[in-house]
Amino acid sequence: MRKYSGLFIVLGIMLVVIIIFAGYYNSFMSLEETVEGRWAEIENNLQRRADLIPNLVASVQGYVSHEAAVFTEIAQARSRLLGAEGVAGKVEASSALDSALGRLLMVVEQYPELKADRRFAELQDELAGTENRLSVARLRYNEAVTTYNARIRRFPGNIIAGLIGLERKDYFQIKEEAREVPRVEFK
Amino acid sequence: MRSLCKDRSGFLAFLLLLALLIVVPAGANADFRRFVTGYVNDHAGLLRPEEERELSALLADLDVQTTNQFIVVTLPGLPPGENLELFALRLAEAAQPGTAERDNGLLLLILSNERKIRVEVGTGLEEKITDGRAGRVIREVLAPAFQKEAYFSGIKEALEVFIHWVEPSYLPEGSAKAAFDFEEEEGPGVLFFLILFLLLTVFSTYTSRYQQRRWYKRGYSQRTMGPVFYPLTGNRNRPSSPFKGFGGGGFRGGNFRGGGGFRGGGASGGW
């Protein structure tokens, strides 16, 4: 028995290490799942907004057919967003679309008969609602990223995170100039 | 291991922060729940007591019959520094109307001094009360009535329209504003633009240098965790509310069942 005790101690330590490792690993995985789930929510809303745009443009088109440049710009920004990938890519494409939409809404301001159009008003509500959902999704995503990043950088989790190659996730940050543009004004 | 000592104190700080995180939302939550003690919470004094009772009875019956929990909150104004949409969302998250399975809660928030209205729609009702529909009720029902200071009739009619959309068979014949169903016709240009956008999308996809990688990445996350499926409806991934454990304080007739997820759907407006 005596000659095996060293072996048992080593095995015991290994077991403890494995259990600790598994605990950290599992918590990292579920935190990462949360981050990805919330990112999916952002993507849903970006997609939702992209789907709204053809309708919005079509309802504006009847009134302001001669403002072709804005429409081309929106169409391009929209297709860029649908083709964009990764957090950084999507953030950039989405703020390009934001500013294109902002320009469209500025054009719309000059057409009172369009602002009185019921269908257009409803589409604007849909757009504002999507923007609001997007900002909620962004908030929740950033919260999840904060938790995740903190967990993988704190001791002793950072050692385990380093071993399995986990990296910090990007926040969804919007540029200042993009922030103010697509708000729909209410009187 | 270099900065083990520093990391350990960091870890302690982290634990402390965690403890704070657990304590603070509970406090904030209690603060919000103060505003919501029943179906109708008229803190701004827009309704007479019997009007408040009538609306409460309507909403309590709706709750018992259909499990949909609609709540009305009127306030003079927002606490300083608050934003309407975020405040309404947090209020709804704290009160949690609706069931956890169906997320069928709705909050109608009215700010009398600021003359602002927010309809916050639970995740499960978003399909029936779309943002556009919510906005239309604000513009065409609530705002005109409130301009005439007819708060009770405005709120009642708005609630009836919402109920009509959510549970068409619930309201007795005649009281439902069936005529309010707005002809949601497609404009003539929609098809043309759909085709234009489709073409542009296809075009940009084919010219994308990352086409191959994109398809790879859609199905698989960066590390080999197996396929990750993003459901389009997104409900499965709804982040659970931090207040979940506190929901469901009882009051007259019904409970707020501590379910009701919200993600910012609805509309804002004013009068």
Q: Two tokens at A161?
A: 């995170």
Q: What is d(CA A98, CA B182) in angstroms, rounded to the nearest whole number?
A: 29
Task: Give the best residue of A48, A79, A134 to mutate against chain B (max B CB count within 10 A).
Answer: A79
Q: What is d(CA B265, CA A131) in angstroms, rounded to the nearest whole number?
A: 10
The order of strands in the sheet holding B116-121 is: B40-42, B69-75, B105-111, B116-121, B265-270
Q: How many CB atoms lie within 10 A of CB A60?
A: 25
- Which domain range does residue A161 map to? 2-179
CB B90 within 8 A of CB B123: no
Mean pLDDT to the nearest integer, A143-159: 90
- Predicted confidence at residue A27, as pLDDT, reads 93
Of B1, B133, B234, the CB nearest to A44: B234
Pairing of strands B69-75, B40-42: parallel
Among A4-8, A138-142, B10-14, B96-100, name the one with the lowest average pLDDT. B10-14
Contacts of B139 (CB under 8 A, 6+ apart): A121, B269
| Nearest chain B CA: its distance from A52 CA (Å) | 11
B190 and A132 within 8 Å at the Cβ level: the answer is no
In the three-class reduction of DSSP (H, G, I as helix; E, B as strand; rest coil), residue B250 is classed as strand
- Predicted confidence at residue B52, as pLDDT, reads 94
Contacts of A10 (CB under 8 A, 6+ apart): none
Of A80, A82, A125, the CB nearest to B131: A125
Give DSSP secondary structure letters for B206-237.
HH-TTHHHHHHHHHB-SSS--B----SS-GGG
Would you call A61 an interface residue with chain B, using a CB distance cutoff of 8 Å?
yes
Q: What is d(CA A72, CA A83) in angstroms, rounded to the nearest whole number?
A: 17
* Residues of A whose CB is below 8 A from B268: 128, 132, 186
Would you call A186 an interface residue with chain B, using a CB distance cutoff of 8 Å?
yes
| Nearest chain A CA: its distance from B267 CA (Å) | 6
Output the CA torsion A173→A179→A181→A182 (10° steps). 70
The label of the residue with tokens 């849903």 reads A44
- Predicted confidence at residue B15, as pLDDT, reads 59
A34 and B239 within 8 Å at the Cβ level: the answer is yes
Among A33-47, A78-92, B76-90, B113-127, name the one with the lowest average pLDDT. A78-92
Q: What is d(CA A48, CA A126) in angstroms, rounded to the nearest whole number?
A: 10
Tell me the average pLDDT of chain A.
84
Would you call B14 an interface residue with chain A, using a CB distance cutoff of 8 Å?
yes
Would you call A150 an interface residue with chain B, using a CB distance cutoff of 8 Å?
yes
Number of domains comprising chain A:
1
Mean pLDDT in runs of 10 for chain B (271 residues)?
Answer: 51 59 51 85 93 93 90 91 89 87 91 94 90 91 93 93 87 56 47 66 58 42 38 36 33 52 88 89
Report ipTM (2 d.p.).
Answer: 0.74
- Within a domain: A175: yes
- Within a domain: A187: no
Q: Using CB atoms within 10 Å of the CB of residue A57, give its burial: 0 to 12 exposed, 13 to 18 middle, 19+ buried.
A: buried
CATH of the domain at A99: 1.20.1440.20
* Residues of B whose CB is below 8 A from A59: 187, 189
Position A148 pLDDT exceeds 90: yes
* Residues of B whose CB is below 8 A from A47: 232
Question: How crowded is the C-beta side of B158, counted as CA atoms within 13 Å?
Answer: 31
A126 and B132 within 8 Å at the Cβ level: the answer is yes
Q: Two tokens at B181?
A: 């169903």
- Within a domain: A184: no
Would you call B223 an interface residue with chain A, using a CB distance cutoff of 8 Å?
yes
Q: Two tokens at B21?
A: 């995180």
In this prediction the pTM is 0.69
Question: How crowded is the C-beta side of B134, counted as CA atoms within 13 Å?
Answer: 30
- Within a domain: A43: yes
Contacts of A4 (CB under 8 A, 6+ apart): none
